[in-house]
Amino acid sequence: MDGRVQRKIIHCDCDCFFAAVEMRDNPALANIPIAVGGSSDRRGVISTCNYQAREYGVRSAMATARAIKLCPNLTVIPGHMEKYRQVSQQVMAIYRDYTDLIEPLSLDEAFLDVTDSEHCKGSATLIAQEIRARIKAEVGITVSSGVAPSKFLAKIASDWDKPDGLYVIRPHEVDAFVEVLPVEKIFGVGEKTAARLHKLGVKQCGDLRSYTLAQLVDHFGRFGKRLYELCRGVDDRPVKVSRERKSISVENTFSQDLPDLESCLEHLPELMQSLESRFEKHREKRTVKGAVVKVKFADFTQTTVEHASDQPDLELFAVLMREAWGRGNKPVRLLGVGYRLGQFQQKQGEQLSLL
């Protein structure tokens, strides 16, 4: 590892989390295709689905109406976020029994650095096995885990044997594993970047290694440096214990498209009221540094406009709404408003919450 710290990283990812909680609480749902999301008649979107539904092609972020076309017998359940948060807290409490170095990425996944953990004789693999067994027994859901010397590889490994799987990439296996890894597995490589790489004759990370750092930077800008490192399995990012929220927002997808700017402006007061209500619990510790307006048009194109302000009001949001709508000048399916937040103001002696 060329003198770099030899970390032991575990990435834990709850399998189809929202759906798994619903199946746990209602066993009748366990063997049928289900999804958690909004209703099709209100242009709902799928948050997650179980593996039976995925066999039909149903996926997260898919419109519920399309999901039902793919899987006519799909059972769609409205989300119960408070219940999911409580289950997430149970899972995170189990993680804390093994290490304090935990970086939650969402309610259902997290990185754990167990480099210095004395549990299970210091074996990251045995720790991951024990964590998964405890979550299944104590929480009633399954977790897939990846164990590797870096966050990049641990996250890939957790997806390697889903669901309810464990995949381990040992330090001496890193080079061979990464060499044949499809470039699409590299974090940040989407369809467009993958297509550009394929045009260069690059399909696996081993192919990418034939390009110099200068060549990759020339082709991909700053991301070229990350490509150069990751195709060699180099990722020195530490597990970050605290992740500070940078913004807070609310949005609404409308059952019928809003036809013009005036109808968009009519919904602003209601959206701002919801935003203020959501911001209330952060008010004592966070300041507002800017206003954000998001508009998604009927053709699914979208735009975001923001402006720095420590006291954004309805008038400012209306100005931003006019600018955003003017970029498309067509019917709107979704509106969102948000605040950019200042730095976290921690009180003396106060301990940061994991969630």
| Structural element, H or E, at residue 191 | helix 191-199
**Residue indicated by tokens 């394929």:** 198
Say how many CA atoms lie within 13 Å of 75 toward its Cβ: 15
Is residue 138 flagged as an active site residue? no
CA-derived radius of gyration, the chain: 23
Rounded distance between C-alpha atoms, residue 82 and residue 110, angstroms: 19
Q: Does 163 sit behind a cis peptide bond, omega within 30 degrees of 0 on the bond before it?
A: yes
| Structural element, H or E, at residue 116 | none
| 13 among annotated binding-site residues | yes
Do residues 186 and 203 lie in contact, with contact meaning Cβ atoms separated by under 8 Å?
Answer: no
**Residue indicated by tokens 């082709």:** 219
At 116, phi and psi to the nearest 5? -105, 10
E strands, the chain, where? 9-14, 34-37, 46-49, 75-77, 102-106, 109-113, 143-148, 166-168, 247-258, 288-297, 302-308, 332-341
| 97 among annotated binding-site residues | no
Do residues 340 and 290 lie in contact, with contact meaning Cβ atoms separated by under 8 Å?
Answer: yes
Q: Which of 22, 103, 109, 306 is catalytic?
A: 109
Catalogue the long-range contacts made by 267-274 (C-beta closer than 8 Å, 24 or more residues apart).
Answer: 267/335, 268/314, 268/317, 268/318, 268/321, 268/335, 268/337, 269/314, 271/335, 271/336, 271/337, 272/314, 272/317, 272/337, 274/250
Do residues 154 and 9 lie in contact, with contact meaning Cβ atoms separated by under 8 Å?
Answer: yes
Which residues carry out catalysis?
109
User: Binding site residues for Mg(2+), as ranges?
Assistant: 13, 108
